[in-house]
Amino acid sequence: MTIKCLIVDDDPEILTYVSSHITKEGYKAITQPNAEQALDYLSSQTVDIAIVDIMMDGMDGFTLCQTLKYDYEYPVIMLTARDALSDKERAFLAGTDDYVTKPFEGAELIFRIKAVLRRYQVQTSVEHTLGNVVINQSERMTKVGAKGLILPNKEFELLNLLVAYPQHVFEREALITRIWGFDYEGDERTIDVHIKRLRNKLKKLDANIQIETVRGIGYRVTTHA
């Protein structure tokens, strides 16, 4: 299977430079000049990794990175001419897997792409099982017994996190940070809505796990007969 690399940069020369090295490596390069067009492309297509410039008109690379990580779960490498420690910190807080400062050698970028993909493949190959519920991260599949359960991205991530740590009590704020991002500014009740939906779906399929509310703290998953 050919690795598909999404390259997002408003500099045509960088797009050409990066895509040429990626193509020589045998990967497929998909170039987009800004975040908005990149997200439009991803509304109907999939990729394996994204290479994102930080400074772009419109949506900047930090915001795009966070969207790619938390909504699409793609590995991300950020490119920038800025080498300040604060920028690197912000990039990693946004979820980037690696950070490359311009100018850079094409060969170095390829090395970094391969390293990130290796780490990502290991991380996403994990399968979690609790009771009669099985969650496969690499295939993004959830099963309750022999029945498949299709979940939207946020519900999948939420259930996957809870099932990975049975009996562990997650604070509401911690769940929001892990699933929606550190700078989420929406209504905190969104977590309650997603939990309610998950409970209903699990109950309909006779799952023998339950999401418990720990009053004043948050949630945990337990099993029952």
Q: Judge if 119 and 181 occupy the same domain.
A: no
The mean pLDDT of 59-81, rounded to a whole number, is 89
Query: Which range among 69-78, 183-192, 195-204, 211-220 shows the weakest confidence by mean pLDDT?
Result: 183-192
pLDDT greater than 90 at residue 162: yes
Collapsing DSSP states into helix, strand and coil, what is residue 141? strand
Q: Are residues 103 and 63 in the same domain?
A: yes
Spatial CB neighbours of 185, under 8 Å, sequence gap ≥ 6: none
Q: Are residues 119 and 48 in the same domain?
A: yes
Residue 172 has a pLDDT of 87
Domain assignment of residue 83, given as a range: 4-124
Is the model's pLDDT at 225 over the cut of 70? no
Report pLDDT for 138: 76
At 147, list the tokens.
């029945």
Please tell me the distance from the alpha carbon of residue 52 to that of residue 99, in angstroms, as a whole number: 10
Quick one: CA dihedral 42, 122, 223, 141, positive or negative?
Answer: positive
* Domain harbouring 152, CATH code: 1.10.10.10
The pLDDT tens digits for 82-102 are: 778 888 888 888 889 999 998
Domains: count for the chain: 2
- Using the predicted structure, report yes or no on whether residue 160 has a pLDDT greater than 60: yes
Backbone angles phi, psi at 49, to 5 degrees: -160, 150
Q: Which two tokens stand for residue 78?
A: 């950020």
CA gap 222, 209 in Å, rounded: 6
| Phi (first) and psi of residue 44, to 5 degrees | -130, -5
CATH number at residue 75: 3.40.50.2300
Rg of the chain (C-alpha set): 19
Q: Is the pLDDT of residue 207 over 80?
A: yes
28/17 Cα distance (integer angstroms): 14
Assess whether 67 and 159 both reside in one domain. Answer: no
29 and 87 together in one domain: yes
Percent of the chain exceeding pLDDT 90 equals 60
Binned at pLDDT 50, 70 and 90, residue 2 comes out as confident
Query: Per the structure block, which two tokens stand in for 186?
Result: 């929406």
Last residue of a domain, one of 81, 103, 124: 124
Cα separation of 110 and 221, whole Å? 41
CA-CA distance, 83 to 69, in Å (whole number)?
22
Q: Determine the average pLDDT of the residues in 118-123.
A: 70
Half-sphere exposure (Cβ direction) of 77: Cα atoms closer than 13 Å: 24
**Single-letter code of the amino acid located at 162:** L
Same domain as 110, residue 17: yes
Whole-number Å distance between alpha carbons of 142 and 18: 37
Task: Tell me phi and psi for residue 8, to 5 degrees.
Answer: -120, 110
pLDDT tens string 4-18? 999 999 999 999 999
Q: Which residue has the tokens 């977590």?
A: 191
Q: Which residue has the higher pLDDT, 6 or 48?
A: 6
